[in-house]
Amino acid sequence: MTGERILILDFGGQYDQLIARRVREMQIYCELRPCTMSIDEIKAFGPSGIIFTGGPHSVYEEGAPTVDSAVFDLGTPILGICYGCQLLAKLLGGEVEPARSAGAREYGKTETEFNSGSPLLRGMGQRSVTWMSHGDYISRLPEGFVPLARSASCPTAAIGDEHRRFYGVQFHPEVRHTEEGSLLLHNFLYEVCALHGNWTMESYRETAVRELREKIGSGRVLLALSGGVDSSVCAALLDEAVGERLTCVFVDHGLLRKDEGDQVEAAFAGRKLRFLRVDAGKRFLGRLKGVRKPEEKRKRIGEEFIRVFEEESRKLGTIEYLAQGTIYPDVIESGAGSAAVIKSHHNVGGLPAEVGFRGIVEPLRSLFKDEVRKLGRELDLPESLVSRQPFPGPGLAIRIIGTVTAEKLAILREADAIFREEMAAAGLQGTADQYFAALTNMRSVGVMGDGRSYDCAVALRAVSTEDFMTADWTRLPYDFLDRVSVRICNEVPGVNRVLYDITSKPPATVEYE
């Protein structure tokens, strides 16, 4: 992507993805990259502004993450957040020390006073609540900096060098708990960096189509089509870019929900796209035999997908490129930047080292889920596809804790179908952004038909979210949950207990594995 670009250098903070979300919401393109980027890589990126994220370290610790100090010679506006603020101060000649008393540390909502005369703070009130999370403080400012905000315990809650356009905030403007955080970020982008906000799905569509044509040339493309939002939008975008040189291959890996394979085929039956369905259920189940670890499941499924696509491409003749509906959260959770690997998505960390294609095409790789939906509408896809709930590529394999067997898949399919059927009947689909059943690896004693049972426990999961990077559990009515529980226990052999998961993300993830 070209034009206005914000570079977010990742120092391992827990809210780093939220910074990217907030910047994108303000119609500015940004990318989250590791803080270890070289100065040449930073120059090549061509940032209009740079943001240093927070992080769990202290800047004075040995081995603490840092950045090439040549970044300060680029003439580019910089905003440091929390750890990023302290690093900015340290590298420019200031001093950072641990708080001398427990009372000087700040965690959570904090009353903060602002100097609204600064471009960074323009339009903000003199006092509002910010979200703090720090045990260190800037004890001496670098030359050229002045304090712009203070709290009861922190005289340097915000700092700035107006001449060089370097700023730092000790709090987290990206979280909703900071009352005027969005205004501060908007000021950095539009007042300090003087950007105009040209990041729209219309502009993305035009740029993505042009770049796809440049990369693919006269080559042919095989798209891994699941029928979900991401791969469907990817199909429409590639169809616009390369037309008849695109073949969509839907691999029915035997890990789908009840009747889903037929539903996907029906959804694409009336389209001009070249659509192939491959029945590979037995081979995938064989590859998963005895596998218990989630990461191993994902990697085996990811590799088997590639092998199926390679085989199909040989049948079709010369296929130079494999296309996937990889999106930005997949990349981040698979260990992008300085982030820990939360789980290797089958289409990112699960890919084998050797792939039998000239290249992999991922036109949605820089988009969040809500942006993918917006692009789908821009491409005139039906709302039924655009609004479809996410379904993981590894399918039910990662909603079965432990080993995957045909018997467990049958149990889970029926339980999940009942849950989804009841959600629709009760008109509750719009209350949750994703909902499903999972099969735990727990068996428990029950009483069924006046006799003892020792059967499986099914967990129900429903979450509400903006971008799937964070999520809150959905408060479904008790009488509804009771109805679902009774149906599952009565209608699904092998189940005698139903649980409802009330854990948000974090600390959990949306999926179980």
Residues annotated as catalytic are 82, 172, 174
| Alpha carbon distance 297, 350 (integer Å) | 9
Q: Which residues pair with 51 in a beta bridge?
A: 8, 79
141 DSSP 8-state letter: P
Q: How large is the angle between the packed helices 406-425 and 478-491, nearest 10 degrees?
A: 140
- CA atoms 260, 262, 267, 271: torsion sign: positive
Provide the pairing of β-strand 246-252 with 274-279. Answer: parallel
Question: 149 with 181: CB under 8 angstroms?
Answer: no
CB atoms under 10 Å from CB of 392, counted, come to: 23
Place of tokens 């002045």: 146
Report the SS3 class of residue 85. Answer: helix
Place of tokens 């603490």: 64
Output phi, psi for 132, to 5 deg. -100, 155
Q: Which residues of 104-141 are buried (b: 16+ CB within 10 A; e: fewer)?
A: bbbeeebebebbeebbbbeebeeebbbbbbbebbbeeb
| Alpha carbon distance 160, 88 (integer Å) | 10
- CA atoms 91, 93, 98, 101: torsion sign: negative
Q: Where are the alpha helices (DSSP H) in 46-180?
A: 83-91
Q: Tell me the two tokens of residue 159.
A: 């700092």
The string of DSSP codes covering 275-304 is EEEEE-HHHHHHHTTT---HHHHHHHHHHH
CB atoms under 10 Å from CB of 454, counted, come to: 9
Residues 369, 373, 374, 380, Cα dihedral to 10°:
160
Report the SS3 class of residue 224. Answer: strand
H-helix or E-strand spanning residue 421: helix 406-425
Q: Tell me the two tokens of residue 23.
A: 């910047």
| Alpha carbon distance 155, 394 (integer Å) | 50
| Alpha carbon distance 17, 362 (integer Å) | 20
Omega of the bond prior to 506 within 30 degrees of 0, cis?
Answer: yes
Residues 6+ apart with CB under 8 A from 132: 106, 107, 108, 109, 110, 151, 154, 157, 170, 171, 172
Question: What SS3 string covers 358-398?
Answer: CEEECCCCCCCHHHHHHHHHHCCCCHHHHCCCCCCCCHHHH
